Structure 1
Amino acid sequence: MLNNPVWAALTGPQACFAEAAGNAARYQPEIAPFAALSDPADPAAWRDLATITDYAVLTGPPITPLSGWETDRVTPGVQMIGQSMSGVEDPDAVPLTEKDVPEILDLVARAEPGPFLKRTIDLGRYLGIRDADGRLIAMAGERFRMPGWTEVSAVCTDPEHRGKGLGARLTLAVAAGILARGELPFLHAVHDNENAIRLYGRLGFTHSADVIFASYRYSAH
């Protein structure tokens, strides 16, 4: 499952958020930009993908597109798992809800943690920390969820408040919720975000695999 997490999520616990056709599936457009194939080496799966979208973001091992798809952008990354870590609830971390989405999107624009859309918050539990004036300054939450595993995602801190350990606290708090359900946390990071990778290592995550985050465009007509 970990080598194809989006497929495992969209055909498992998060099937309610999927648009699917045959051996391809994607998240509903306002949820997340990610799509998946049951087998990226199967030309039929790429043909199925073309029936539901002409632009897709995939993650996993290196992928060679087939059947009229062209690579738009590829970013190397790493996958890390928390099989032996302990989460820590944080008394200052407050649950974020749909009413907080405008603030969340504002924070995402400043902190740039990766894709986050209007309904991404529907995927799981999101927590935030606010400053003394009530302004949202840090957050983290859950994204891909598959049997036995949930991804920690959107870990970000306002640039003015970095260096205070807020990201670490929220990562541990989100992990605590995942572990309490009897699941294990995992996460992804781009390969050159060395500070984040070191931080996750200190928190108890270990390297699982090298992955890519890649976008593909369908050009055949």
Structure 2
Amino acid sequence: MNPLLDNIAWNTLSGPHAGFATGTDRARRYAPGFSPIVGFANAGHPDLDDLIPFCAPGDHFYCMDWSGSAPAGWRIDLDSTMFRMVWQGAMPDDDPALDATPLRPEHAAQAVELAALTRPGPFGPRTPELGDYFGCFEGDRLIAMAGERMCAGTLREISGICTHPDYQGRGLARRLAAKLIRRQLQRGETPFLHVMRDNEGAHGLYQRMGFKDHREVVVRVISPC
């Protein structure tokens, strides 16, 4: 398995997404407006104090692969685990019947609203700038979306997979994710994603689609205090 995957946040923020990030040579975060994710050169012993100059009041960050105690000046607001999953399935079929619209800056408010309602993971108004994002619309209303977030080497994350509760059961988000997976495989990339441990429905769906568990990892929401 690609070793970049085991510290994917850092390898993304210090590599392909360095232009979307800020920080030091030991700790980096996505810039405000993007997903509130942080990464550390040493994920098991993060240099949290290095982030202080790049924090604002009220900031909360998602931190992966670290299970130690919070140092002075920081608190752990949420402590859980998630599965990091890697695609091992076949090439998804083309889906010409799917009416998928590329999301643009003018869709940002609707995308943030849908993410706040469905909670697919950390999301900001500029998150769709991190990769390809597609949505399904009912009239002018965004009802489902999926896109790309972290990346390093040939690894490319599928993220933001969600459907408005009023439109669930149609397979819209799954079909959007399959569209992204197909595009990534055609580019020679390896799709991966994250799913919370207690989200058994989504975990099972991703397994049926062709993702396999790479490993279970710690995920925390942390904030300076």
Q: Using structure 2 for the length normalisation, give the TM-score.
A: 0.88
Q: What is the CA–CA distance in structure 2 between the aligned matches of 1:98 and 1:89, rounded to whole Å?
A: 27
Q: Which residue of 2 aligns with 1:4?
A: 7
Superposed CA deviations along residues 71-127 of structure 1, whole A, max 9, x for unmatched, are 221122111000344234433212111111122123223322222211111100001
Q: Which residue of 1 aligns with 2:54?
A: 52
Q: Residues 42 and 212 (structure 1 numbering): CA distance in 2 closer, same or farther, change over 3 Å?
A: closer
Return the offset for 1:53: 2.6
Counterpart contact for 1:21–1:52, Cα < 8 Å: no
Secondary structure of 2:54's partner?
Answer: coil
Q: Residues 185 and 50 (structure 1 numbering): CA distance in 2 closer, same or farther, change over 3 Å?
A: same
Q: Residues 80 and 14 (structure 1 numbering): CA distance in 2 closer, same or farther, change over 3 Å?
A: same
- Aligned pair count? 217
Q: Which runs of 5+ in 1 are unaligned?
A: none
The correspondence for 1:102, drawn from 73, 98, 109, is 109
Superposed CA deviations along residues 157-212 of structure 1, whole A, max 9, x for unmatched, are 11111111112111101111221221110000111111101110111000011012
Q: CA RMSD in A?
A: 1.9
1:6-25 → structure 2 map (5 Å cutoff): 6-25=9-28
- What is the identity percentage for the equivalent residue pairs of Structure 1 and Structure 2? 35
Q: What is the CA–CA distance in structure 2 between the aligned matches of 1:215 and 1:164, rounded to whole Å?
A: 32
Q: Which residue of 1 aligns with 2:199?
A: 193
Correspondence 1:135 to 2:135: no
Q: What is the CA–CA distance in structure 1 between the aligned matches of 2:93 and 2:141, rounded to whole Å?
A: 23
Q: What is the CA–CA distance in structure 1 between the aligned matches of 2:149 and 2:15, rounded to whole Å?
A: 13
1:71-110 → structure 2 map (5 Å cutoff): 71-91=76-96, 92-110=99-117
Q: Which residue of 2 aligns with 1:169?
A: 175
Q: Which runs of 5+ in 2 are unaligned?
A: none
Q: Residues 23 and 49 (structure 1 numbering): CA distance in 2 closer, same or farther, change over 3 Å?
A: same
Q: What is the CA–CA distance in structure 2 between the aligned matches of 1:135 and 1:218, rounded to whole Å?
A: 36
Counterpart contact for 1:130–1:136, Cα < 8 Å: yes
Q: Which residue of 2 aligns with 1:36?
A: 39
Aligned AA (1:150): R
Secondary structure of 2:5's partner?
Answer: coil
